Chains A and B, each alone.
Chain A
Amino acid sequence: MAPDSPQTSLQRWLVWLIEWLDLLFLVLLVPIFAYVYWASQGFMLGARLFPSYVAIFGLVLIGLELLRRIIKRGVVAVGRGPATADLELDEEQRSLAGYGRGLIMFAWLVGFYGLIYLIGLLWATAIFVPVFLVLQFRARWWISLLLAGGLMGLIYLLHLTLRLRWPPGVFLN
């Protein structure tokens, strides 16, 4: 068998990370709950009582869930049962490729945030919407420009009618 390429190792590591993400998330909650309990002890009784008990309760529950995972030896029970608000994600969306596509969208969002920080929401919309639609989705440029213009109009209209403010930029407001 040929030795693993670095890319394959990285992919394998990422797949492992995805598989254990729920456990990692739970473990990350432990210091948060523990901190809440520890920090609460410095408050006066009225402010201490509730968060202290909630933190202890949370730690007990996390302990129980971790115990359950150990007993079940890491069997993940993500079934097809209905949830309250979510439509179930399909397996493809839970795969490495699915995560990757989602993270690319988050990266676009970070870019949008950066633009907002620099030039404010109004002008950031004018630039981001056409660039995002054309580069990411190969959308028709004239529809994208029309949409960007419409959105700028909407933001301005909301500002005029409801007195809404948009996030200002460092260089443009």
Chain B
Amino acid sequence: MLDALVNGLFILLDPFRMLMLLAGVVIGIVVGILPGLGGLMGMALVLPFLFGMDPYAGIAMLIGIAAAVPSADTFPSVLMGIPGSSGSQATIMDGYPLARQGQAARALGAAFSASLVGGLIGALALTALVPFARPIVLAFGSPELFMLTLLGLSMVGVLSGNRPLLGIIAGVFGVLIGTIGGAPVAAEYRFVFGELYLYDGISLVILALGLFALPEIIDLLARGGAIAERSPGLGGGWLQGVRDTLRHKWLVVRHSLFGIFIGFIPGMGSSIIDWLNYGYVVQTSRDRSRFGKGDIRGVIAPESANNAREGGVLMPTLLFGVPGSSAMALFLGALLIFGVQPGPQLLRDELDLVFVIIWSLALGNVFGTLLCLLLSRPIAALTFVPFYYLAPVVLIIVILGAFQETRHWGDLLLLFGFGLLGWVMKRIGMPRPPLLIGFILSSLAERYLWMSYNLYDWEWLYRPMVLAIGGVTLTLVIAGILVKRRATRETP
């Protein structure tokens, strides 16, 4: 295990891989600052360009994006009172009042240092879990893995929208889209309508770009204008912010652990974690009078939890092949593109890669924080660029990326179709992440189901672990609905 840990670091220290990690961090910062463009969008944008790339470099780049977004999305939250992503909504509560009091630099300093510590704790927790989880995960057979994919799907469906049933329907719809093309366990082409283009199935890249990137571009263009209209000024007090984090070190540790725990449960979105942590710090503080008016603890708690969460969401993704979040669903898809099978096989055969991911997460957090601190002024200036100047750049990358799939006009037509679908789903309140996750899990679930059926007929349903996971699924779904209701109530 220690060998793999050290090997992972040396593999990552290759200059090209480090460059890709850094590039991922820079992309993560840019998409983190622009509201609506989160980690998922960032990953979707770079995914088409990763084909043929060294898998370690590609994976480092994706993790770099995931690590940097929770830090960078703090800029608009603190400076403008606009969440950079859904995971930085609670930071506004105290970050923005601090900025209005001329203490933006202090709030950002505290947020970035708390994010750094949180991110490192997340990576550490993931490292600590691997030796314990490995024997358990290796004991799982196809029936248990099938049940785990169901667990992931149901949790994401339940938790990712305001109407749980709609979320699960979206997930099931995604599963069906995933069945288009050649069947994974039989020599049969399904739902291709004689179109050669569909024989290989729908591309993950096109689905992700269409569902998430196009609707955001359209909505941001339709809204018009820049993110911020006037310069709020950063002021001074960076070191004061760092000192605040050190002064509240146990708060950082507590909320990081809380963030990891919640992140481990698939579907617990960053916004839920954000608000739960904010509610938690308010409830457990003796002096609550300053919350909402500029209490630095209201910045530190959600920010440390947000970055630590990335370690948490990677746990089910890597160990069981069940994506912990929508961005992780795309990461899972990227792993499959690179020929890496998450779950028991990954832990058994490619432990080095697991540690490359963990090191990337840790270093990505360090680079992300350093870049945010060092380049805070130009990064803040990016929020004053009208989005219509940025939109053509993003749109060209999206179209160019989608076209690399098969270099067929069908790529562009599907991109447009999924874009329209995503835009409508966004408007009718039907969550899009479950559709993407259902699509990615479709072929895995079908393989596991077929293997279980072939080996045990329907007897596999009575296996103790299958029943246990079924019970856990039911419990978590019910608990998830309750937690979500609570988080919704706490949303001001």
Contact = CB atoms under 8 A, between A and B. Distances in A.
Tell me what chain A mostly uses at the interface: helix, strand, loop, or mixed: helix
A93 B38 CA distance: 20
Interface string A121-137: 10001001100110011
Interface string B266-310: 010111101100000000000000000000000000000000000
A82 B275 contact: yes
B438 to A, nearest CB: 9
A76 B166 CA distance: 12
A14 interface: no
Contact of B269 (A80, A83, A164): A83
A81 B488 contact: yes
Interface residues of B, number: 87
Interface string B197-218: 0000000000000001010011
B429 A87 contact: no
Contacts of B453: 49
B409 interface: yes
B218 A45 contact: no
A23 to B, nearest CB: 9
Interface in A76-112: 76-87, 89, 93-94, 98-99, 101-102, 104-106, 109-110, 112
A17 to B, nearest CB: 11
A46 B450 contact: yes
A29 B419 CA distance: 17
B100 interface: no
A139 B389 CA distance: 9
A46 to B, nearest CB: 3
B389 A147 contact: yes
What DSSP secondary structure best describes chain B's contact surface? helix
Max chain B Cβ within 10 angstroms of own Cβ: one of A26, A109, A164: A109
Contacts of A80: 488, 491
A9 to B, nearest CB: 23
A155 B271 CA distance: 36
A22 B86 contact: no
A104 B223 CA distance: 12
B450 A49 contact: yes
B161 A167 contact: no
A39 B191 contact: yes
A64 B388 CA distance: 42
B418 to A, nearest CB: 13
Nearest to A140: B389
A80 B490 CA distance: 10
A12 to B, nearest CB: 19
Given A44-B186, A136-B388, A81 B412 contact: no
Given A44-B186, A84-B269, 16 more contacts: A21-B428, A32-B176, A49-B449, A49-B453, A58-B172, A58-B176, A78-B429, A84-B433, A85-B160, A89-B426, A93-B222, A94-B427, A109-B395, A132-B392, A155-B396, A164-B400
27 contacts: A21-B428, A25-B425, A29-B169, A43-B190, A46-B450, A47-B185, A50-B445, A51-B190, A58-B173, A61-B169, A65-B166, A80-B488, A82-B86, A82-B89, A82-B487, A82-B491, A83-B271, A89-B427, A93-B223, A102-B218, A104-B222, A105-B217, A105-B221, A116-B399, A117-B409, A133-B388, A167-B403
Interface of A: 18, 21-22, 25-26, 29, 32-33, 36, 39-40, 43-47, 49-51, 54-55, 57-58, 61-62, 64-65, 68, 76-87, 89, 93-94, 98-99, 101-102, 104-106, 109-110, 112-113, 116-117, 121, 125, 128-129, 132-133, 136-137, 139, 143, 147-148, 151, 154-155, 158, 162, 164-167
Smallest CB-CB A-B distances: 9 pairs:
A46-B186, A84-B269, A82-B271, A81-B488, A22-B428, A47-B183, A84-B160, A47-B188, A101-B222
